[in-house]
Structure 1
Amino acid sequence: MFHKIVRLALILVIGIVFYFSWLPDPSLHSESYLPRWILNWSSQNYNLRTAVPFVVVGFLLEAYTSGRNSNEPHENRNLNFMQLIVITAIIACTAEGGQFFINRRSPDFMDVFYGIAGSILGILSYRLLKKNKKCETDINSPL
């Protein structure tokens, strides 16, 4: 059940990434439902705003794959890390490439970089959270 929820959330977040990437107006001012502070922040942090949803993408990708890979050796976990980076790079490149074909915006290579950096932060955040939870469990377990 957990994997189904995570997969659904992952699809939703990737859909949101594509939606906002493929808007004709990159300033997001056409999106009247967004709070003003988000619009102001995204205008001031143009490339950084790309990293934010990719933190969530990386976190969810790691959550989705970690359950299946928990018994694998350390070397395979590093391979899994590289595979997740490739997946997020494909998502970021698709989002940027789609801008050119869908609404004639010019793709920005820095958005791909920020997307990958955000996903790395998300993957590492999940691993750190999982490691801290394991440490707490080990500390609280009876001897």
Structure 2
Amino acid sequence: MLKKILLGLLLLVIIAVFYFSWLPDPTFKNETYLPKWLVDWGNNNYNVRTAIPFLGLGFLLEAYAQPKRINKINSNNYLGLLKNIAIAAVIVCIAEAGQFFIQKRNQDLADVFYGIVGSSIGAAVYNFLRKIRHEK
């Protein structure tokens, strides 16, 4: 059951990444459901805002993969991190490629970098929290 919940959350995060990446207006001014402070922060931190959903993506990818390697630490964790980075890179590259077809949007290599970094940080946070939990 937990795997299904994690998979559902992963899909929601991926859909959110594509939705916000492919909006016609990159300033999010027409997105009235977002708080004004969040829109202002996102517009002032244009590339950093790309990393935010990828924090969750990296965290969820690690959580989803974890039961497969529950007691295996060293090499399998690095392999898992590499898989996490590869999946995040594919998702962010698809999102950036989709912007090629949207008139007011521009592709940005920095967004690819921030997406991968965000996913890596999310994965690291998950592994850190898991390590703390297992040491108790």
TM over 0.5: yes
How many percent of aligned residue pairs carry the same amino acid? Answer: 49
Cα separation, 1, equivalents of 2:33 and 2:75: 45
**SS of residue paired to 1:66:** helix
Cα separation, 2, equivalents of 1:93 and 1:17: 11
TM-score of the two chains, using structure 2 as the length reference: 0.95
Further displaced range: 44-53 or 65-74: 65-74
- Which blocks of at least 5 consecutive residues in structure 2 are unaligned? none
Q: CA offset at residue 83 of structure 1? A: 1.2
| 2:93 equivalent in structure 1 | 93
Greater than 4 Å deviation, 4+ residue runs: none
Residue by residue over 1:56-104, the C-alpha shift from the partner in whole angstroms, topping out at 9 and shown as x without a partner, is 0000000000111224462122112111101100000001111112x13
Cα separation, 1, equivalents of 2:63 and 2:13: 14
Residue by residue over 1:18-40, the C-alpha shift from the partner in whole angstroms, topping out at 9 and shown as x without a partner, is 00000010011111111100111
Cα separation, 2, equivalents of 1:5 and 1:58: 15
Larger radius of gyration: 1
Q: Which amino acid aligns with 2:130?
A: K
| 2:18 equivalent in structure 1 | 18
Pairing 1:110-121 to 2, within 5 Å after superposition: 110-121=110-121
Q: Which amino acid aligns with 1:82?
A: L
TM-score of the two chains, using structure 1 as the length reference: 0.91
- Which blocks of at least 5 consecutive residues in structure 1 are unaligned? 137-143
Pairing 1:30-69 to 2, within 5 Å after superposition: 30-69=30-69
**SS of residue paired to 1:24:** coil
Q: Which amino acid aligns with 1:37?
A: W
Cα separation, 2, equivalents of 1:44 and 1:71: 42
**SS of residue paired to 1:30:** coil
